[in-house]
Structure 1
Amino acid sequence: MRNRILRFLTYSAVGVITGLIVAGVVVVAEKVLLDAVLHRSLLQQACAPALGLWIAVLLLRWSDSGDPLSPSTSEEYIRSYHNKSYVLKVLHLPFRLLAGVATVGFGGAAGLEGPAIYAGATTGSAIQRHLSWLFRDKDGQALLVAGAAAGVSAVFQAPATGVLFALESPYKGDLGRRALLPALLSSASSYVTFVLVSGLDDDLPFEVRTDLVRVGFGQRELLGAAIVGALCGLAAMVFSRAIKGAKQLQKSQPWWMMATAGSLIAGGLVILSDVLFDAPLSMGPTAEGQVLRWVLNPDEALPMLGMLLAIRLVATSTVIASGGVGGVFIPLAVLGLIIGRIVGGWIDVGLESMAFFPFIGVAAFLAAGYRTPLAAVMFVAESTGAPAFVVPGLIAVAVSQVVVGGSSVSDYQRDTRVGHLERRFQMPITSAMKREFRTVAGTDSIADFVWQFAFPRKQLEAVVTDEDGQFQGIVKVSDAGDIDQDQWSKTKCSDIMIQGLSPARLSWTVREVSALMEEAGTDIYPVVDTAGRVVGVVTDQSIVNVVELLDETQGG
């Protein structure tokens, strides 16, 4: 009972600490820096994103004793969730947070949810490592998930969204387990802490008057929701590929070249936005709400909305490719908002429902981009305070999930949660392969195989090779029983061996070779190189041994 109470207090403590950190980050980045930048001259606004990118890149390069950090934030949470040996170091936290503040505070088209999730996950992970005695019988990722939930809860002031996002985001089609209660307590305490400390309880990421969404669920509304979902699914597929391409560029090209190119592109987009929209709509998560107000303006033409969609997509991809630090949750939401508004211009359901399709688009694009359908719908409901979005939002989200296929903005998401043995069977074949082994020749007699090989080695099956080491088949002692023992010395192993088997390759997994062993009915199987020579064998016992070893060293 005592340990249970201590765990509950720890879950809440993770939320409080995360809420304090996120409050500081949001106030400095958005309410101090970004607000000041948006009130500067056009020239200063055009130069600001470049300054933020360079500060972020240099901070990451000078951290950790000169070993450059990646600009990943929320991705670090997903990576650590799936790889228990990957530790989120507290030492890296201030560098990534300051880089995120610089990127977003000086106008980079990214969100602060990335640094917020990273801050919470790092905090939770560190506390759990120091209090391992308290969580010995619990899921080792409980506080990691709780911290991530707390980060989302604070930055969006949406506790339920935080819980669902933390549980959904590690997988494309599944939920994390054994962390619901920690996430709930941490998310709630983080939200309360953030609101009390920052005083930003009325500053929601998406605000909309409820009289703008007074609509029914008629045929046009539901059909429009499905169209929004389909378009958002297609656009999310494009956006996911753009983000992954940007990440590859950031890793493969010289850092100074990408930072320079990103600075020029970001500055050019600021000027282009001013020319087209008379506002810096390419800057920050939402340009302090200017993007939302512009998109929901009923007087804006559809071609101009299309231009804004392209500018925001390029702006966010540029931040990622240049090495800036920030999340893509809000950029996804903004793109969905614009697509929904475009559809709303085609399917007119009256001025009172001007915000209906845009916010359906927010849910659909978020769900398709991050593969978090429940969190996406909950986010729209919480951030707008309009429950009328839920039913059509679910329709749009369902359609977007079908259309987007297997795409995702995350490199570390897995399709579904796999079981203990399933994870082991996904290991490379080399992890279970024995490199020290003996084979028998096809010309050897059954007597030699049984009396000189099988019984002395207590090995009832053997791989048969020719003089060049090429695989021929598998011989079993049980098959020798079908031959009269008087004939063993005259009968070759090649006469009774199992033939026609396809040997395993070094690139295979344990699952693939296990399937062939079961099909052939053998306890041993050969592994060959590209030349067809046998370089190792896998046995049923070697598979069991590696599974038991990993269980001992990794705790299952």
Structure 2
Amino acid sequence: MSRALERIPIILRRWLLPSLAVGLATGVVVACIDFLIYRILWIHVSRLASNSMLLCMLMPAAGLCAAGFLISASGEEEVRGAEEVVRSYHTHIPMRGRRSIALHLLSTIPTIGFGGSAGLEGPSICAGGAIGSALPAKVKCIRLKREDRCTMMLAGAAAGIAAIFKAPLTGIVFALEVPFKNDLAHEALIPALVASVPSYMVFAKLAGAEPLFAFRRHELLTVEVLVASALLGAASGLLAVAFVKLYRLVRGLFRGRAPLPAKTLAGGLACGALGALSTLLAGRPYALGSGYELIRASLAGELSTGQLAAMVLLKSATTVFTLGSGALGGVFIPMIAVGAALGGALAELGGGPIDLYAALGMASFLAAGYKTPLAAVAFVAETTGSSSYLIPCLVASSVSYLLSGGFSVSDEQRPHKEVRVAELAKLRVSDYMTTKVVCVPAEATIAEFISKYLLKHRHRSFPVVKEGRLVGMVAVDDVVGVPEEEWRHRTVYEVATREVIVAYPDESLSDVLDVMEKYDIGRVPVVDPRDPGRIMGIISKTDIVKAEAKLAGLSD
């Protein structure tokens, strides 16, 4: 058998056959998990929660507490699910052992099945990634290098998404987009394509091929629709930033020495209370579970504007409490649900077609919060089955993606491709920084700053010094809000940012670029590591772009 496999052409042996096997196996695993959670547990839990306020409050707590015990038993409480796949792709460190992955996957059953606000796409990505990572290591004749096994892991993640959403194109695009905020893992295209199709076919055969949602067709593409798409995209972008900030705040609150089951129990109690509130307001616990019921209710126009607005807040809160407390699950479909409710609410206010607005909200909110705009549009295109939604969703997603900046629910995403990061990691700040730094005296007035520095040198930010030592940074945004009549009386030091983000001469350009992306700043002062008040230079994004251009010229 081994010799027969050796005679297979290398392109088949290296990519096509392994990707096909990964897709088939992932489809079976995801179908089994889907059956346990949605066909056995959640269908009964949701009915009980709708009829009993007490059960509505207690079931999520019980489920999340059980999940906490399972995760604790694995011995691995950090970087789980879809996040682990992204981390492993970037670091080339293999995913954790089979026992740990199995326990993590099992933990999603009580989490989602008992009402935790999380999606099955998280464990589907994890299962697919684990299969994609393990298969090449077990079959010797495949002989994949470590980085190729990471590519195969993304193919498994694509297969997981393709199966659970019955959307192979979404799976392919998601696998290419999710590792980066502003780039694509293009090397995974063919493996992801080959793995996604059989995974979808197997899942559809086992779980049914009916579409997830029912949409009406909209053939008119007017200027009014495009303007509404842009406005809804802007609203989604702002809401996504708030969602990410809330998620990180809640996750920070749950970081501590308390046992994980105690944390998830607290998160479950919070979810239960919010779920009970959603039942009081809307008649059903729409804030609990993955969010499919909320999406369908939003599309059907079953909820009023006030109810939809309340569901936006409640569904966001239950999601951040579920995942922020330490439980495992996906954030893709809960974000889709929040976006659908947002779009439905705005449709009710503006009098537009509710299913179109809901689709716009679904695509734009996910695009902004997860930094996967193409996958978000592909998801809507595949689930609606109509190309008429495509252009409006592209407009809405582009606006929300740009407006939300670098905010993402994923901590493991990187701004750019690893190749670029690896090249910039070899370059030191000291070789590319500007040593002649224009500094603003702390005692200078805002009027002096504008006339002598801002208009003259055309930088957006400047170091502020007092007696030759760095004491802050002042930027255009710091003085914009100051009334003009106060410019001659108030000093730069009064409005400057005191907590300065700094760089050191021996730091790599990749590290500095990550800091710039994280804090959305364009210039960073370079200081002496032994004397942080002494400015040695300044590094800007322009300097890094020039370094990249130089690298590109050398490589060509």
- Range of TM-score over shorter length: 0.7 to 0.9
- How many residue pairs are counted as aligned between the two chains? 433
Secondary structure in 2 matching 1:419: helix
C-alpha deviation, 1:144, in angstroms? 0.7
The alignment status of 1:226 with 2:230, answered yes or no, reads yes
Deviation at 1:265, TM superposition (A): 1.1
**Distance of 1:34 and 1:68 partners within structure 2:** 27
| 2:326 pairs with one of 312, 323, 327 | 323
State whether residues 333 and 365 of structure 1, in contact with CA within 8 Å, keep that contact through their aligned partners in structure 2. yes
Distance 1:131 1:424, change over 3 A: farther
C-alpha separation between the residues in 2 aligned to 1:512 and 1:327?
Answer: 29
| 8 A contact 1:89–1:122 mirrored in 2 | no
Distance, in Å, in 2 between the alignment partners of 1:112 and 1:143 is 21
Correspondence 1:152-301 to 2 at 5 A: 152-198=161-207, 200-202=208-210, 204-205=211-212, 207-210=213-216, 213-252=217-256, 254=258, 255-286=260-291, 289-298=292-301, 300-301=303-304
Equivalent residue number for residue 79 of structure 1: 87
Match of 1:47 among 47, 58, 68: 58
Q: Say if 1:284 and 1:325 are closer, same or farther in 2 by CA, change over 3 A.
A: same
Q: In the alignment, what sits opposite 1:404? A: 404
Report deviation, 1:10. Answer: 1.3
SS at match of 1:38: helix
Q: Distance in 1 between matches of 2:323 and 2:426?
A: 32
Task: Please tell me the residue identity of whatever aligns with 1:5.
Answer: L
Comparing 123-132 and 9-18, the one that deviates more: 123-132
Aligned residue number for residue 99 of structure 2: 91
AA aligned opposite 1:368:
A
Structure-2 change in CA distance of 1:400 and 1:6 (3 Å): same
Structure-2 separation of matches of 1:335 and 1:409: 14
- Structure 1 distance, partners of 2:140, 2:46, is 46
TM-aligned CA deviation for residue 241 of structure 1: 1.6
- Tell me which structure has the larger Cα radius of gyration: 1
For 1:335, the equivalent position in structure 2 comes to 338
> What are the within-5 Å matches in structure 2 for residues 139-538 of structure 1?
139-198=148-207, 200-202=208-210, 204-205=211-212, 207-210=213-216, 213-252=217-256, 254=258, 255-286=260-291, 289-298=292-301, 300-349=303-352, 353-419=353-419, 422-423=421-422, 425-426=424-425, 505=504, 508-509=507-508, 530=530
In 2: Cα distance, 1:292 partner to 1:140 partner: 36
Please say if residues 63 and 111 of structure 2, whose CA atoms lie closer than 8 Å, have aligned partners that are also in contact: yes
How far, CA to CA, are the matches of 1:531 and 1:30 in structure 2? 59
Q: 1:425 to 1:218 in 2, by over 3 A?
A: closer
Structure 1 residues 238, 132: CA separation in 2 closer, same or farther (over 3 Å shift)?
farther
Q: Distance in 1 between matches of 2:299 and 2:12?
A: 48
Supply the distance in 1 between the matched residues of 2:416 and 2:529 (Cα, whole angstroms).
32
Residue 452 (structure 2) aligns with: none
Separation in 1, partners of 2:184, 2:379: 17
Q: 1:2 to 1:51 in 2, by over 3 A?
A: same
1: CA distance, partners of 2:84 / 2:143: 22
Asked if 1 retains the 8 angstrom alpha-carbon contact of 2:66 and 2:261, the reply is no
Deviation at 1:529, TM superposition (A): 5.2
Instruction: Quote how far apart the aligned CAs of 1:297 are.
Output: 4.5
The C-alpha deviation readout for 1:50-103, integer Å capped at 9, x for no partner, is 11101110001112xxx2433721111111110112434322221111111110
**How far apart in 2 are the matches of 1:531 and 1:399?**
43
Task: Show CA shifts across 1:440-485 (max 9, x none).
Answer: xxxxxxxxxxxxxxxxxxxxxxxxxxxxxxxxxxxxxxxxxxxxxx
Structure 2 CA distance for partners of 1:403 and 1:85, relative to 1, 3 Å: same
**Amino acid aligned to 2:319:** T
TM-score, normalised by the number of residues in structure 1: 0.73
What corresponds to 1:15 in structure 2?
Answer: 23
1:306-358 CA-partner distances (Å, limit 9, x unpaired): 11111101100110122211100001101111111122123324xxx321111
Contact in 1 for aligned 2:26/2:156 (Cα 8 Å) = yes
Question: How far, CA to CA, are the matches of 1:511 and 1:51 in structure 2?
Answer: 44
In the alignment, the residues of structure 2 paired with residue 510 and residue 304 of structure 1 have an alpha-carbon distance, to the nearest angstrom, of 49
Letter in 1 for 2:361: G
Q: Which amino acid aligns with 1:290?
A: E
Q: CA RMSD in A?
A: 2.5
- Sort the Cα spacing of 1:242 and 1:528 in 2 relative to 1 into closer, same or farther, 3 A: closer
* Contact map agreement 1:80 1:87 (CA 8 A) in 2: yes
Quote how far apart the aligned CAs of 1:512 are. Answer: 9.2
CA drift at 1:173:
1.1
AA aligned to 1:224 is A
**In 2, Cα distance between equivalents of 1:60 and 1:428:** 41
C-alpha deviation, 1:506, in angstroms: 7.5
User: What residue ranges of structure 2 are gaps of 5+ in the alignment?
Assistant: 1-7, 430-502, 513-526, 533-556
**Would you say the 8 A contact 1:269–1:282 is kept in 2?**
yes
Unpaired runs of 5+ in structure 1? Answer: 431-503, 514-526, 533-556
> Are residues 272 and 234 of structure 1, via their aligned partners in 2, closer, same or farther at CA, if it must alter by over 3 Å?
same
- For residue 296 of structure 1, give the secondary structure of its aligned residue in structure 2: helix
Structure 1: distance between partners of 2:511 and 2:377: 39
> Conserved in 1, the CA contact under 8 Å of 2:132 and 2:149?
no
- 1:170 is matched by which residue type in structure 2? P
Structure 1: distance between partners of 2:254 and 2:141? 40
| Contact 2:282-2:303 within 8 A present in 1 as well | no
Counterpart amino acid of residue 23 in structure 1: A
**2:151 counterpart of 1:115:** no
- Using the alignment, how far apart are the partners of 2:368 and 2:261 within structure 1? 33
Contact 1:71/1:324 (<8 A) preserved? no
Distance in 1 (alpha carbons) for counterparts of 2:116 and 2:81: 15
Identical columns (%): 33
